[in-house]
Copies of this chain bind each other. A is one copy, B any other.
Amino acid sequence: MPLLPLIEYEDAGSEVRAVYDDIMRTRGTDWVNNFWKVLANHPETLARVWEDVKNVMKPGALDPLVKEMVYVAVSATNNCEYCIHSHTAGARAKGMTNEMFAELMAVTALANETNRLANGFRVPVDDVFRGYPD
């Protein structure tokens, strides 16, 4: 059970309904997932976070599927159960196969391993890796 109630469409005010409508329109679905129904308790946060997700996750220099997989990798690193479930579903809907998911987790897990070796041994950054290219 969540720490704030789920706000259903029929119980929502016009500000919240406008966001729900935009979520469904943008995604081409007829339902809204629980994350937004909890955020709807604070309409300002609902509107702000949805605006951010919509803008950051839209096609750009990176492919939308790549973005979803990065989301899953971060969520697995942080152990956000909800986010792992929702963004794995999102990535599958955009074409991620079981093989791709398995490889994604292999990279994510390996990065978490080598992160600790580098941090634990205090490996000094090679000069050639510093800064930005011209």
Residues of chain A at the chain B interface (Cβ within 8 Å): 1-6, 33-35, 38-39, 41-42, 44-45, 48-49, 52-53, 55-57, 60-62, 66-67, 69-89, 92, 97-126, 128-133
A109 / chain B contacts, CB cutoff of 8 Å: 49, 113-114, 116-117, 120
Q: Tell me whether A120 and B44 are in contact (CB under 8 A).
A: no
Which one of B66, B77, B82, B130 contacts A69 once the chains associate, using CB atoms below 8 Å? B66
Q: Tell me whether A118 and B82 are in contact (CB under 8 A).
A: yes
Give the distance in Å from the alpha carbon of A73 to the alpha carbon of B4 in the complex: 16
CB distance from A57 to the nearest CB of B (A): 7
Give the distance in Å from the alpha carbon of A55 to the alpha carbon of B7 in the complex: 23
Q: Tell me whether B92 and A133 are in contact (CB under 8 A).
A: yes
Q: Tell me whether A102 and B132 are in contact (CB under 8 A).
A: no
Q: Tell me whether A2 and B122 are in contact (CB under 8 A).
A: yes
Q: Tell me whether B38 and A121 are in contact (CB under 8 A).
A: yes
A100 / chain B contacts, CB cutoff of 8 Å: 61-62
Give the distance in Å from the alpha carbon of A77 to the alpha carbon of B39 in the complex: 17
